[in-house]
């Protein structure tokens, strides 16, 4: 019916649609909507066939609405007939108003111009008077300055001739300041003449003051005056105003004359000039400084810092003289003599730092080192006065706030720099001392034997380790006080050498020896092996020794890293990249790895007889399932004997005990699975017994980290995953063995589902464990190859990858085959 309406009444809907326009005012009428649809509107009016009975009434309503719209349009059109006339009249009125406004604006502009002209006439005279006043003031000021300058120059010349330096000092500064005002008038002859007279007076004053000082402090001959002269004190004030070169010349001549006696007393050919009497040099300058303060302290201005300048010049002269005499007598320098001289010199430099500020060092002769950022390294908490302290590395030390470093001594190296070319004597001595120290450590270890077992307190670090790093600390602090340059790099090389020697001679050299290597059995072990023989195990003392060496290596590893950081702080910034102890830390890591491997091998070898016994049992003859088998009890016994000892001795290095557990699990589980494959044939009851034994071993391995401990801790998640994955595979193997092999398709599918192993070798071993005949195995293997899932094209899945990469069980199987072959041939 709606379709009929759509076809029959388009003319009715088209009229409102054509007449509709965008709504100007808000409206709810559907005819005013912009998206008006006539068909939808008609369907709304006539939703059913019965509603067509009112079609006449609806048409009448629409016609009435159209009539009303026509009336409204007609009314609006008629109302717009007079709009054009009214607009023209309004425009004319607006034009008249604009003309009136323009006339008023023109009148205002004319009045403003007349007012401006009137103001200019009023202020013209005021401006002239203002300019005249400013020029008159400038003229009066200039005349006053000229008068002051002329009088000042006359007075300056007269006072200079009379050597009235006290009055000259104040007058000269004023004359110079006044003369600056006449710089732009130098073209005037009189002004230029006054300027030249001032310069001549300054030159005359300079030469006169220098002559007075030369007369008062001759370079040679006459004795020094007993006290300062007032004339010279005032002359120094005048020198402050003169050319700076005059001041520098006075200072240079006075210091040279003051130190002339020092150069004579400590000539190179004098006995007191050698290093063993270096104290006398510093005692002499201390006396001279006291004498200067008493006699001449008030003669020179305080800002000249004459006391510090004398001390600094003494340091420069001493450094030059010491360097010269040490080059001449280099063969006579011994370590004790060199350290004695350096110690006295650094003490003297420290005394200078306490007494003086170092402000006269800004000439670049000695560069004041920049204070490095605060250290975050706990290797040394405090350097001063702790040369013989032991290095104590605690875990909590890293959380303690570090002490800020004391600012560096500005006088450091001002004299002691001359000893740096001869520090090779010190480095060679430390090389010899460390060699003797390592030899003593080796001898002491052989004499005292391994450390006593101490399971209550954990594995003890070897005492020699602390002694070594205490000596390293002493050497580092001592060398950093001598030099922070190349000698520190040479000392670092010595440290590296003896860290490696300690690792190999003391740590690796004292690890207990085994007859088998980590890779497998040797010919010697095969020749000595007998049926049912017990594998040699480490004694309790040997286990404790291995743990002690492991703890010591861990301590050395951490302390070496801190030593590297501290060396980088001590050395010059340009040499930091040459400090690298990574090779030494790697060496200690190797010692740790070897120690863990020895512990794993020992426990692994102890479990071998039990696993061999398991593989030799007649599992097809087992009639009932009982408690765990004797071999399981033997494995658990060995674990309970070794693991608590190792755990207690590695209490301070918990992470390495975790590594031991992980490595043991990675070694034992594949070996257990390999021996499991050797158990053939197996009956249903035998497989059930083996499944029970496997579960027991799984529980023991999961509890391995805390076995025999009063404090039960949750095993690490990484270790738990390894045990669960490996032992679950062993359980799945036994479950496949227990499954019936008829029908073959179900058995193969069950194998693929449980083991997800696409290796035909593994499947062959399962068939051997079930005791199937070769003919049955051939058909099974063919079916197995057919049922294998096809790998994705172009991508090797995990199963195909497992075929290309030998598993630990395959590697162990190859070793066993090699063992059998060698036994057979022998």
**Contact assessment for residue 209 and residue 235, using Cβ atoms and an 8 Å cutoff:** yes
Q: How far is CA 801 from CA 96, 571, 795, 806, 808, in A?
A: 102, 52, 10, 9, 14
Contacts of 772 (CB under 8 A, 6+ apart): 741, 780
Q: What is the pLDDT of residues 562-620, one digit of tens each?
A: 999 999 988 888 888 998 999 999 999 999 999 999 999 999 899 999 999 988 888 88
Percent of the chain clearing pLDDT 90 (strictly above): 13
CA angle (271, 272, 276) in 5-degree steps = 95
> Model confidence over 479-529: pLDDT tens digits?
887 778 888 888 899 999 999 999 998 898 888 886 544 444 333 343 333
Give me the half-sphere count of Cα atoms (radius 13 Å) on the Cβ side of residue 235. 25
Identify the band that residue 8 occupies on the pLDDT scale cut at 50, 70 and 90. very low
CA distance 378 to 391: 10
pLDDT bucket at 821, cuts 50 / 70 / 90: low
pLDDT in tens, 523-532: 334 333 333 3
Which range has the worst mean pLDDT, 197-211, 310-324, 341-355? 197-211
Phi, psi of 357 (to 5 degrees): -90, -20
Domains along the chain?
186-355 (no CATH), 416-511+538-592 (1.10.357.50), 610-787 (1.10.357)
pLDDT in tens, 65-99: 889 888 888 888 877 777 777 778 888 888 888 98
Give the per-residue pLDDT at 791.
Answer: 57
Cα 295 to its chain centre, rounded Å, is: 56
Q: Which residues make Cβ contacts (< 8 Å) with residue 332, sequence separation at least 6?
A: none
Q: Is the pLDDT reported for residue 793 higher than 90?
A: no
Q: What is the pLDDT of residues 373-419, one digit of tens each?
A: 443 333 444 443 433 333 333 333 333 333 334 446 777 778 888 88
Q: What is the mean pLDDT of the chain?
A: 76
How many Cα atoms occupy the beta-carbon half-sphere of 15 within 13 Å? 9
pLDDT of residue 671: 92
Instruction: State the pLDDT at residue 528.
Output: 38
**DSSP of 731-794:** HHHHHHHHS---SHHHHHHHHHHHH----HHHHHHHHHHHT--HHHHHHHHHHHHHHSPPPPTT
Among 379, 382, 405, which residue's Cα sits nearest to residue 393? Answer: 379
Q: Is the pLDDT of residue 140 over 50?
A: yes
pLDDT at 156 over 70: no
Task: Kindly give, in sequence order, each residue whose CB lies less than 8 Å from that of residue 371, ignoring residues fewer than 6 positions away.
Answer: 405, 407, 408
Here the tokens at position 5 are: 């309406």
Across 226-254, average pLDDT? 72
Please calculate the CA angle 478-481-483 and round it to the nearest 5 degrees: 105
Q: Is the pTM of this model over 0.75?
A: no
Asked if 281 and 217 touch (Cβ cutoff 8 Å), the reply is no
Please give the pLDDT value at position 388. Answer: 36
Three-class DSSP category at 520: strand
Q: By percentage, how much of the chain surpasses pLDDT 70?
A: 77
H-type alpha helices, 400-485: 424-448, 463-482
- 606-657 confidence digits (pLDDT tens): 999 999 998 888 888 888 888 888 999 999 999 998 889 988 888 888 889 8
Specify the higher pLDDT residue, 822 or 347.
347
The C-alpha atoms of residue 399 and residue 383 are separated, in whole angstroms, by 19
Q: If you average pLDDT over residues 647-670, what whole number do you get?
A: 90
């Amino acid at each position: 019916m709606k379709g009929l309406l759509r076809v029959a009444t388009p003319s009715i809907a088209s009229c409102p649609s054509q007449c509709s326009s965008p709504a100007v005012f808000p409206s709810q009428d559907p005819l005013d909507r912009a998206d008006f649809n006539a068909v939808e509107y008609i369907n709304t009016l006539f939703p059913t066939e019965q509603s067509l009975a009112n079609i006449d009434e609806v048409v009448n309503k629409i016609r009435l609405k159209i009539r009303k719209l026509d009336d409204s349009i007609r009314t609006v059109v008629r109302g717009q007939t007079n709009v054009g006339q009214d607009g023209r009249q309004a425009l004319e009125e607006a034009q008249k108003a604009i003309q009136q406004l323009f006339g008023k604006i023109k009148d205002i502009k004319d009045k403003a111009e007349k007012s401006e002209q009137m103001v200019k006439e009023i202020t013209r005279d005021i401006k002239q008077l203002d300019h005249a006043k400013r020029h008159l003031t400038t003229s009066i000021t200039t005349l006053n300055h000229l008068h002051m300058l002329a009088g000042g120059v006359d007075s300056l010349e007269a006072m200079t001739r009379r050597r009235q330096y006290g009055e000259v000092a104040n007058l000269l500064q004023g004359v110079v300041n006044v003369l600056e005002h006449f710089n732009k008038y130098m073209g005037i002859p009189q002004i230029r003449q006054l300027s030249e007279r001032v310069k001549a007076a300054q030159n005359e004053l300079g030469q006169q003051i220098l002559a007075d000082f030369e007369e008062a402090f001759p370079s040679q001959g006459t004795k020094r005056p007993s006290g300062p002269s007032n004339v010279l004190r005032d002359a120094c004030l005048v020198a402050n105003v003169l050319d700076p070169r005059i001041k520098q010349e006075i200072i240079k001549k006075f210091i040279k004359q003051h130190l002339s006696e020092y150069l004579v007393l400590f000539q190179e050919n004098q006995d007191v000039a050698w290093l063993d009497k270096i104290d006398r040099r510093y005692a002499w300058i201390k006396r001279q400084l006291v004498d200067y303060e008493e006699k001449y302290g008030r003669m020179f201005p305080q800002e000249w810092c004459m006391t510090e300048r004398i001390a600094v010049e003494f340091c420069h002269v001493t450094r030059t003289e010491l360097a010269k005499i040490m080059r001449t007598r280099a063969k006579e320098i011994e370590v004790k003599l060199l350290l004695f001289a350096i110690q006295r010199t650094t003490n003297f430099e420290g005394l200078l730092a306490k007494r003086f500020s170092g402000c006269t060092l800004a000439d670049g002769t000695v560069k004041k080192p920049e204070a490095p950022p605060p250290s975050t390294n706990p290797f040394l908490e405090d350097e001063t006065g702790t040369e013989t302290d032991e290095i104590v590395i605690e875990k909590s030390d890293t959380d303690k706030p570090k002490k800020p470093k004391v600012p560096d001594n500005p006088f450091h190296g001002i004299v002691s720099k001359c000893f740096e070319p001869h520090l090779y004597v010190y480095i060679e001595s430390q090389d010899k001392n460390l060699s003797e120290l390592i030899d003593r450590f080796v001898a002491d270890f052989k004499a005292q034997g391994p450390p006593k077992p101490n399971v209550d307190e954990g594995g003890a670090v070897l005492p020699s380790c602390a002694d070594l790093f205490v000596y390293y600390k002493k050497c580092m602090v001592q060398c950093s006080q001598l030099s922070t340059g190349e000698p520190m790099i040479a000392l670092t090389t010595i440290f590296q050498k003896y860290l490696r020697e300690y690792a190999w001679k003391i740590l690796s050299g004292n690890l207990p020896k085994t007859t088998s290597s980590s890779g497998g059995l040797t010919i010697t072990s095969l020749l000595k092996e007998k049926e049912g023989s017990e594998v040699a195990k480490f004694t309790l003392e040997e286990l404790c020794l291995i743990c002690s060496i492991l703890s010591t290596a861990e301590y050395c590893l951490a302390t070496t890293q801190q030593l590297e950081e501290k060396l980088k702080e001590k050395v010059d910034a340009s040499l930091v990249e040459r400090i690298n102890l990574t090779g030494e830390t790697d060496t200690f890591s190797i010692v740790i790895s070897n120690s863990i491997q020895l512990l794993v091998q020992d426990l692994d070898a102890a479990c071998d007889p039990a696993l061999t016994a398991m593989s030799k049992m007649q599992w097809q003859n087992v009639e009932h399932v009982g408690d765990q088998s004797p071999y399981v009890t033997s494995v658990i016994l060995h674990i309970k004997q070794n693991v608590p000892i190792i755990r207690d001795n590695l209490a301070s290095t918990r992470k390495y005990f975790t590594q031991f557990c992980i490595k043991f699990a990675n070694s034992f589980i594949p070996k257990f699975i390999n021996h499991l494959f050797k158990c053939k044939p197996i009956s249903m009851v035998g497989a059930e017994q083996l499944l029970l034994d496997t579960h027991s071993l799984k529980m023991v391995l999961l509890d391995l980290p805390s076995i025999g401990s009063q404090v039960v801790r949750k095993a690490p998640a990484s270790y738990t995953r390894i045990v669960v994955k490996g032992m679950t595979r062993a359980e799945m193997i036994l479950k496949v063995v227990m499954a019936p092999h008829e029908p073959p398709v179900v058995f193969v599918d069950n194998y693929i589902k449980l083991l997800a192993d696409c290796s035909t070798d593994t499947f062959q071993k399962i068939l051997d464990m079930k005791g199937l005949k070769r003919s049955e195995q051939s058909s099974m293997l063919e079916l197995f190859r057919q049922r294998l899932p096809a790998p994705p094209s172009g991508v090797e899945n995990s199963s195909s990858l497992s075929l290309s990469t030998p598993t630990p069980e395959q590697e162990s199987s190859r070793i066993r085959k090699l063992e059998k072959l060698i036994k057979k041939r022998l």
